């Protein structure tokens, strides 16, 4: 089988697949149109997020047997077209679940204990104690939406912090020793902290909007390591200003480029969009990281290994 690698990944992918007899070609620079012209030569594609695999692309990939996404999210692929064409879809959410879970806890502890703020103040000669009094996790109710690989790993990490973990998921019977499954209404009633671990699709785009926030009984902390467009930025900014959202830890932003390589600061952003983004970047109520929750040295290798194992299992 001939495989096209469209993004740079851990070298074990190339090393192990070559050893199994696959033919590999790397192309990390060609544009969408350039790849489109040659895609019918390949049996498989291994991607991250650089090029969108839309309907037009897939219909031109006449010999394609599989798409392997090194990571969890599949929103860059037209899943319906791929399934209709009989193209196997492979991803590796198992590879970075531990990294995401640790990132969630790290951001939350930094946020609730004002660690960045206090550190910067001391470095600038300002010594404030009462103003930097922290808020403990102990005794709080931690609400998770989406109890797949990332949600479960996060609940497991929280087991030593003395929090009650509850979760909502569209699938039934997922409860385990680390978290209790509840309705969305109960989660909104009880949660002190909300953490998102969901894919991006039609049902989850702007899930957390003005209406959702209005149904949260308590003022709450928000953590988003899923996708930027799971959250309506303007709604969060308004809630931060009103105090309904106490603070937010955001590894993803609505205004990211689809490749996740940077923020989209193009002229397509409205004046309100730009104002909201500036608020998030400047507010001491918000921690923002550049889509790196699953981005550790260890996860890079694990993501690649899961992809190789799944391709070999299915096609060797």
Determine the 3-state secondary structure of 208 from DSSP.
Answer: strand
103 carries an active-site annotation: no
**Chain centroid offset of residue 133 CA:** 30
Choose the catalytic residue: 69, 256, 275, 282: 256
Choose the catalytic residue: 50, 97, 103, 291: 291
Choose the catalytic residue: 103, 157, 227, 254: 227
157 carries an active-site annotation: no
Tokens standing for 228? 């930027």
130 carries an active-site annotation: no
Task: Name residue 142's beta-bridge partners.
Answer: 165, 193
226-257 in b/e form (b: 16+ CB < 10 A) is bbbbbbbbbbbbbbbeeebbbbbbbbbbbbbe
Query: Which contacts of 82-88 are long-range, i.e. CB under 8 A and separated by 24 or more positions?
Result: 82/53, 82/58, 85/58, 85/59, 87/58, 87/61, 88/314
What is the distance between the alpha carbons of residues 73 and 44, in angstroms, rounded to a whole number?
18
What is the distance between the alpha carbons of residues 148 and 73, in angstroms, rounded to a whole number?
12
The H-or-E segment that residue 222 falls in is strand 220-224
Q: What amino acid positions are annotated as catalytic residues? A: 227, 256, 291
């Amino acid at each position: 089988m001939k495989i096209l690698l469209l993004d740079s990944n851990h070298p074990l992918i190339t090393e192990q697949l070559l050893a199994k007899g696959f033919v590999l070609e790397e192309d990390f620079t060609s544009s969408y149109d350039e790849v489109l012209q040659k895609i019918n030569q390949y049996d498989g594609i291994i991607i991250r997020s650089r090029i969108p695999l839309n309907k037009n692309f897939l219909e031109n990939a006449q010999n394609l047997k599989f798409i392997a996404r090194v990571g969890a999210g599949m929103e860059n692929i037209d899943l319906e077209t791929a399934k209709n064409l009989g193209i196997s879809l492979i991803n590796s959410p198992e590879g970075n679940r531990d990294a995401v879970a640790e990132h969630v806890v790290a951001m939350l502890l930094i946020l609730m204990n004002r660690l960045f703020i206090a550190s910067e103040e001391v470095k600038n000669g300002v010594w404030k104690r009462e103003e930097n009094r922290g808020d403990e996790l102990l005794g709080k109710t931690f609400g998770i939406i989406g109890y797949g690989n990332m949600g479960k790993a996060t609940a497991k990490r929280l087991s030593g912090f003395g929090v009650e973990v509850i979760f909502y998921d569209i699938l039934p019977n997922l409860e385990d020793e680390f978290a209790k499954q509840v309705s969305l209404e109960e989660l909104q009633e009880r949660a002190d902290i909300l953490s998102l671990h969901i894919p991006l699709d039609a049902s989850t785009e702007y899930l957390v909007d003005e209406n959702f926030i209005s149904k949260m009984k308590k003022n709450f902390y928000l953590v988003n390591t899923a996708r930027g467009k799971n959250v309506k930025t303007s709604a969060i900014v308004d809630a931060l200003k009103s105090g309904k959202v106490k603070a937010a830890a955001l590894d993803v932003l609505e205004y990211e480029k689809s490749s996740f390589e940077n923020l989209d600061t193009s002229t397509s952003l409205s004046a309100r969009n730009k104002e909201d983004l500036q608020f998030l970047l400047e507010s001491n109520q918000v921690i923002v990281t550049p889509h790196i929750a699953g981005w550790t040295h260890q996860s890079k290798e694990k993501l690649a290994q899961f992809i190789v194992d799944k391709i070999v299992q299915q096609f060797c």
